[in-house]
Structure 1
Amino acid sequence: MAEKRSLQLESVVLDCPEPLALAAFYNELLGWNGVEGDDNWATVTGPGPGGGTVSFQRDPGFRAPTWPEGERPQMLHLDIRVDDIDVEHERTVALGARPLGETQGTSNNGFRVYADPAGHPFCLVA
């Protein structure tokens, strides 16, 4: 049995040019509890205790990844679970995401790759 430790993941942090705008995008996409922060750092938190946190920090020199490879490959991406990708696709695009063209599997057993408004890749996963 593993030794109990007092370590806990606090947040995933994404660099971006506009923290409040990107936090608002993810807050709406995920249906979370609102945006907290300012022009340099913003956070969205999921529902319930330990609901998860994604934070966004200003990087004036931010350059989006060139997905799936190239000069600036992605360093990480978020997988967002949905019941049906087809149902969530239109809403995700209407919020400002851009489809990156990769789709595997079906709408209820697969994934699709998008870029958020700052250009970070993420997946809707069913």
Structure 2
Amino acid sequence: MAEKRGLKLETVVLDCPEPLALAAFYNDLLGWNGVSGDDRWASVSGPDGATVSFQRDPGFRAPTWPEGERPQMLHLDIRVDDIDAEHDRVVAVGAKPLGEVQGSPTNGFRVYADPAGHPFCLVA
């Protein structure tokens, strides 16, 4: 067992052209506690203390998923009870479907892109 060193993950940071807009998307997607920050850095935090932050990158270019010139470097997996039941809601807040459900709606995953083009998965 590893020795505890007092380390705690502070946040996951995604580069993007518009931090406040992307933070608002993830806040709506996750149903979290609101957006904080400005046009250079914004964050959303969940009730359990999990945080996702967004850093302005004026030269940001979205990943080309699933492969290509700019492969994804990271993606978020978001647990849901039923992918089909969440599909319309995540599309309504601005997600773009990137494929069909792999596996079943209650035991599989589906890939989406956020408004900046970062892939993320709904996972059942």
Asked if TM exceeds 0.5, the reply is yes
Sequence identity (%): 85
Aligned ranges 1:70-89 → 2 under 5 Å? 70-89=68-87
Q: 1:115 aligns with which of 113, 116, 121?
A: 113
Distance 1:76 1:97 in 2: 17
**One-letter code aligned to 2:35:** V
Match of residue 14 from structure 1: 14
CA RMSD of aligned residues (A): 0.8
Instruction: Give the 3-state SS of the residue equivalent to 1:57 in structure 2.
Output: strand
Other-structure match for 1:23: 23
Residue deviations 1:48-90 (CA, integer Å, cap 9, x gap):
3xx2000000000000000011000000000000011011000
Shift of 1:102: 4.2
**TM-score, normalised via structure 1 length:** 0.96
Amino acid corresponding to residue 35 of structure 1 in structure 2: V
Distance 1:120 1:19 in 2: 13
Aligned to 1:58: 56
1:4 shift after superposition: 1.4
For 2:81 and 2:102, the matched residues in 1 are separated by 15
- Give the length in aligned residue pairs: 124
Consecutive aligned runs of 4 or more in structure 1 exceeding 6 Å deviation? none
Q: Determine if the alignment matches structure 1 residue 32 to structure 2 residue 43.
A: no
SS of alignment partner, residue 101 of structure 1: coil
Unpaired stretches in structure 1, ≥5 consecutive residues: none
Q: Matched residues in 1 for 2:14 and 2:25: separation?
A: 13
Residue number in structure 2 paired with 1:68: 66
Question: Which blocks of at least 5 consecutive residues in structure 2 are unaligned?
Answer: none
Q: Which deviates further from its counterpart, 95-104 or 113-122?
A: 95-104
Which residue in the other structure is 1:101 paired with?
99
1:92 maps to: 90
Give, in whole Å, the separation in 2 of the partners of 1:66 and 1:4: 38
